[in-house]
Structure 1
Amino acid sequence: MKNSQTYIDSGVLELFVYGTLPEEEMVEIAREVSQDTALLQEVVEIENHLMHLAKAAAPGEPKDVSVLRKYINDNETKVIPLSRKQTPIITFMGWAAAILLLAGVGYLYTENNKLEDRIVDTERELLLQEGKTQVAETNLDQTRGLLNVIRKQDLIAVPLGAQAIAPEAYASVYWDKKSGKAYIDVKGLPEPPEGKVYQVWSLTLEPLTPTSIGVLDQYDASGNQIFELSNPNESEAFGITLEPEGGSASPTLEQLYTLGVVASS
């Protein structure tokens, strides 16, 4: 007789209970089990476990799955050879069905979660695109409106030339003196570095007196580049400086990017 633990660890007892071993091995193991209490107890536990799985997979009164009873008669050691047709295949099928059911449920759950994630990502992307479209349409409408305004003949156009700090920079001011509005076109200015903003100044020259008319904190190099500011001043010139975020009380002359004088009428 083989060692009891060897049988248990090998998994052969499970195959014996499933009825999937060759007939000769079934007979041999039945003989061993009938002579070993530990093996008998292990077989009973396996059969009970399969009975439980079979009930879960196929409700109803399960058939007797005891293989050992088919190979031994009570406590006698006489082996009764049986046809392979009498092995408990129904129980094995129930057990397999239970595993397949659990695997199928797990697969469907995983696929459902993936589908939900894809739907959420798609909805988020659509909302983002809708938001971008609305912003673009709003900016376009605003730009068209501003262009219509600055084309008025009674506006004073003031070109602002580049200064030493930015030789390639340029800007324009369109000043409606009657309404006190100034339209600042900063398309020719480089994008300000992080933590910096452009600030527009109205200047009187004698004596030189700067007055801030606005901070361009909404500057966007790829979007809005025309700003409407209030300018009730008697301006003689306009300048644009680069200032710390939030603006400054007085212009930083070392950061003067553009400057232009209002033409005398």
Structure 2
Amino acid sequence: METQEYIDSGILELYVYGLLTETENLEVAEMAKKHTVIEQEILSIEKAIVALSSSFSPFHSVANFEKIKARLELKHGKVVEMKPASNWSQYVGWAAAVVLLLGLGYQTLQLTETREAIATVGNEKNKIQRDFAYLDQQHKETEKSLTIVRDIKNTGVTLGGQTVSPTSFAKVYWNKDTKTTYIDAKGLPEPPKGMVYQVWALKLSPVLTPTSIGLLEDFASNDQKIFAVSQTDSAEAFGITLEPAGGSLTPTMEQLYTLGKV
């Protein structure tokens, strides 16, 4: 055991008060011989007891008390004022450590909460950015659709529903100058899996001659249902049929969904 630990243990106070066993008394005496600082601490405790006794009514007779006091002053000099027990420094240290740990724990909690708040804000920001990007894309598509519909150079051809789907409808926007052609397929039901709508430019005379001008692919993901198809040089009518994925060389007339003359 270190010298200071020995002093802080409180055994020296018990030694001075005569509360130790004979074996423990011998041990303290040996430690005092070996270590001057322990001897000085014992003397300091004795002087403190005398000083304390001076402040209160002593249990010894006045004569005996004065003899003890005189012997201590003769051997060690003037009796010193009582100092606080050294163990108090140990308790204060522990208390300070507890306060420090509580403070560190609180700071750690605050730091964790701050980091979580920052992460939440970051996630919200990313979500807002994604939503904004989606809405911006939707806005651009809507503007594009409106531009097509409002272009006075575009010839609008309405396609009505046929036998296989009487309630279906569509509209073709065809610019005869630039040959560009757009299909508004909002009135068509979603095609079954493995099937696709195919658009045909038709010549009606002298014989019916269909020419494929495109497929309405990715139907489900196209919110506006506006599709650009191949340029069209000439057409007397337009029709839309339902075909197997990849399209067909000739239209399946039994699956003719819409038809309209120019």
TM-score (norm 1): 0.58
Counterpart position of 1:241: 241
1:243/1:255 contact within 8 Å kept: yes
User: 1:98–1:254: structure 2 CA closer, same or farther, 3 Å change rule?
Assistant: farther
Counterpart position of 1:108: 110
Identity level (%): 34
Partner amino acid, structure 2, of 1:76: E
| Residue pairs, 1:1-265, within 5 angstroms | 66-69=8-11, 72-73=14-15, 76=24, 86-87=87-88, 88-149=90-151, 151-152=152-153, 156-193=155-192, 196-205=195-204, 207-217=207-217, 219=219, 223-262=223-262
1:216/1:227 contact within 8 Å kept: yes
What is the SS of the residue equivalent to 1:170?
strand
1:159/1:171 contact within 8 Å kept: yes
**Partner Cα separation in structure 2 for residue 141 and residue 96 of structure 1:** 67
Q: Which moved more, 1:204-213 or 1:182-191?
A: 204-213
What do the CA deviations read for 1:202-253 (whole angstroms, capped 9, x no partner)? Answer: 1234544332212223546884233343333432321112345554444344
2:170/2:187 contact within 8 Å kept: yes
* CA positional deviation for 1:124: 0.6
Number of equivalenced pairs:
198
Unaligned runs of 5+ in 1: 1-43, 49-61
| Superposition CA RMSD, Å | 3.8
2:9/2:87 contact within 8 Å kept: no
Q: Provide runs of 4+ in structure 1 moved above 6 Å.
A: 62-65, 82-85
What do the CA deviations read for 1:59-78 (whole angstroms, capped 9, x no partner)? Answer: xxx99994454665496279
1:65/1:91 contact within 8 Å kept: no
* CA positional deviation for 1:146: 0.6
Unaligned runs of 5+ in 2: 27-44, 50-83
* CA positional deviation for 1:186: 1.7
**Partner Cα separation in structure 1 for residue 7 and residue 178 of structure 2:** 98
1:202/1:233 contact within 8 Å kept: no
**Partner Cα separation in structure 2 for residue 239 and residue 175 of structure 1:** 13
What is the SS of the residue equivalent to 1:173?
strand
Larger Rg: 2
* CA positional deviation for 1:170: 0.5
**Partner Cα separation in structure 1 for residue 222 and residue 164 of structure 2:** 23
**Partner Cα separation in structure 2 for residue 143 and residue 243 of structure 1:** 26
What is the SS of the residue equivalent to 1:239?
strand
